[in-house]
């Protein structure tokens, strides 16, 4: 398989690239190396001498460059995005350009280059404060942040390109992905970093908000299975652990793992755009992809903290 991975230097994109190359596929890695956070190149550097790997510095807003990079590709794994609810509240236009217009460009380029399938990265944030938990794909979508709105708009474009042009696609609604390589602005990394420095963890709100944390290797496994699944019709799929845990519980587990249970969390005002609870029903993904999450929160936190101690802070 010849695959294009947009956002290939990022958290999910680089982990997916590792997996694709390990399984013998050809990978065209596309990334604009946006300055939202630095150091991403180190995740791809070891592949630069691999004859099955090609790295292109391209922005998904450059439609002509995307068309050229997609030539001959079987599947496009679209990971490129302006991630983060809070930055989208500060800069809604950037989220819209990167996530909505960027996805439209990916779909146009894929259609024009004859790509068979686009696997789009969406988010559980499209549910907003879900009307029921666990959230199911057919439940109402009521975004409460520009980031969520941009991701939902991108989903609609994927459905349209399937129905109008026959471009196979699926939108994967990720629920709080975590693990090695996660971004510096993600909560688990921030909590861990402060604990290792002997600083009190800072929690927005009372900490009783809950999240469906999903480990990176489980997410990449689901993404990989989408490449060959025969019955994808542009619809969304929840990619989640199917369980939920409070932020307070996560912080306590981190403090226990790093041996700093003496640090008392500091509670700060809630942040605009943050939802109260996320919890997904992954029944459709289990059935359609023959997939199941395997890494529980305790094991996942231990694996992340070990990576962060030995590699992540280097």
| Catalytic positions, written as ranges | 147
pTM score, whole prediction: 0.95
- 167 prior amide bond cis, ω within 30: no
pLDDT > 80? residue 314: no
Give the pair of three-digit tokens for residue 195: 């604990």
Check: CB of residue 221 under 8 Å from CB of residue 177: no
Q: How many CB atoms lie within 10 A of CB 302?
A: 14
Check: CB of residue 185 under 8 Å from CB of residue 261: no
Check: CB of residue 155 under 8 Å from CB of residue 236: yes
Helices (H) and strands (E) in the chain, counts: 11, 13
pLDDT > 80? residue 303: yes
How do strand 236-239 and strand 168-174 relate by DSSP bridges?
A: parallel
The string of pLDDT tens digits covering residues 42-78 is 999 999 999 999 999 999 999 999 999 999 999 999 9
SS3 5: strand
Dihedral pair phi/psi, residue 229, rounded to 5°: -60, 130
How do strand 26-31 and strand 53-57 relate by DSSP bridges?
A: parallel
Cα distance between residue 207 and residue 204, in whole Å: 7
Give the pair of three-digit tokens for residue 8: 């290939």
Specify the DSSP class assigned to residue 269: P
Cα distance between residue 237 and residue 281, in whole Å: 10
- Phi-psi region for residue 301, left (φ > 0), alpha (ψ -120 to 50) or beta? alpha
The string of pLDDT tens digits covering residues 177-213 is 999 999 988 999 999 999 999 999 999 999 999 999 9
Percent of the chain with pLDDT over 90: 88
Handedness of CA 260, 186, 224, 10 (dihedral sign): negative
């Amino acid at each position: 398989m010849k695959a294009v991975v947009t956002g290939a230097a990022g958290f999910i994109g680089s982990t997916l690239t590792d997996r694709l190359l390990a399984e013998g596929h050809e990978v065209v890695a596309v990334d604009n190396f946006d300055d939202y956070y630095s150091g991403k190149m180190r995740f791809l550097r070891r592949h630069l001498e691999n004859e099955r790997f090609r790295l292109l510095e391209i922005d998904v807003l450059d439609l002509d460059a995307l068309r050229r990079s997609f030539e001959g590709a079987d599947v496009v794994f679209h990971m490129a995005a302006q991630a983060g609810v809070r930055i989208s509240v500060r800069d809604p236009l950037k989220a819209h350009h990167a996530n909505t217009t960027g996805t439209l460009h990916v779909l146009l380029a894929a259609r024009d280059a004859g790509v068979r399938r686009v696997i789009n990265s969406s988010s559980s944030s499209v549910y907003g404060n879900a009307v029921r938990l666990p959230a199911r794909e057919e439940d109402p979508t009521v975004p409460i942040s520009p980031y969520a709105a941009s991701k939902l708009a991108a989903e609609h474009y994927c459905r349209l390109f399937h129905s109008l042009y026959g471009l196979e696609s699926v939108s994967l609604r990720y629920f709080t992905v975590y693990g090695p390589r996660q971004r510096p602005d993600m909560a688990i990394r921030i909590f861990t970093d402060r604990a290792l420095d002997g600083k009190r963890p800072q929690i927005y709100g009372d900490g009783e908000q809950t999240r469906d944390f999903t480990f990176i290797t489980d997410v990449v496994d689901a993404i990989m299975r989408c490449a060959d699944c025969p019955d994808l019709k542009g619809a969304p799929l929840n990619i989640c652990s199917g369980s939920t845990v409070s932020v307070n519980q996560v912080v306590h587990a981190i403090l226990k793992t790093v041996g700093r249970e003496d640090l008392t969390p500091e509670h700060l005002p809630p942040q605009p755009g943050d939802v109260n609870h996320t919890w997904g029903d992954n029944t459709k993904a289990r059935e359609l992809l023959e997939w199941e999450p395997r890494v529980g929160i305790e094991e996942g936190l231990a694996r992340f903290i070990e990576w962060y101690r030995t590699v992540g802070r280097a």
